[in-house]
Amino acid sequence: MLGNRKRFTTELEDLNNKVLDMGSEVIEAFKNIIKACEANDLDIAKEIIENDQLINDIEISINVDGYLIIARQCPVASDLRRIVTALKISNDLERIADYAVNIAKYMIKTKHDNSVVVNGIIFLGKHLTNMLEGIMESFEKEDVELALKVNNQDEILDDVYKEEVKKLINIGKIKTDEESEEAIRGLLVIKQIERAGDHVTNIAENIVYLVSGKRVELN
């Protein structure tokens, strides 16, 4: 019995570490988005797209491991909560990574001046990256207070996003057709970062659930 419990504990630790690894890859993706925008480096954007497969593979591995642990071990409530949380957080991380890929594709396909959009991506991206770093630290430490603090930062992200939207709408009203079209595309792109912030909120909710066993709805 002791051997089984030790193996079970090791499996849970491995699952936890895979979630942390996945989080690190997602954080790196958004750091690279910022670098690509700052340097106008399309090679970095291409690397982000290529690396997305690694993130997808980690999520698949987490799902397979999680369901196998449930099938083999019949975990008690607290352990089951840990497994379910890992599955849910990995799903949110995969969605956040997809948004980074969408931004990278936008950069590669854009041929016209898009400095306003790029500046917005950099500004919003830095804020989101800070949120991602904070929420993964919260998960690692099982720190509910930190998770709630990170969640509150999503309101700031939303406010900044709204200001960037106003800038792009104004461009659409007064500029040429070409510039207006670029502004519309830009609206869709910066929306990706706002959505990513919503997924960070989901992760915060799951950290609260992991620690307390209570489901909460944040923001």
Query: Where do the structural domains in the chain lie, given as residue ranges?
Result: 2-212
> Which pLDDT score, from 0 to 100, does residue 74 have?
82
Print pLDDT tens along the chain (219 aa).
555 778 888 999 999 999 999 999 999 999 999 999 999 999 999 999 999 999 999 999 999 999 999 998 888 888 999 999 999 999 999 999 999 999 999 999 887 768 888 999 999 999 999 999 999 999 999 999 999 999 999 999 999 999 999 988 888 776 666 777 788 888 999 999 999 999 999 999 999 999 999 898 887
Q: Are 182 and 112 in contact (CB under 8 A)?
A: yes
pTM of the model: 0.93
> Which pLDDT score, from 0 to 100, does residue 175 have?
64
> Which pLDDT score, from 0 to 100, does residue 176 have?
67
> Which pLDDT score, from 0 to 100, does residue 219 have?
72
> Which pLDDT score, from 0 to 100, does residue 104 have?
96
Q: Which fold has domain 2-212?
A: Methane Monooxygenase Hydroxylase; Chain G, domain 1 (1.20.58)
> Which pLDDT score, from 0 to 100, does residue 3 have?
57
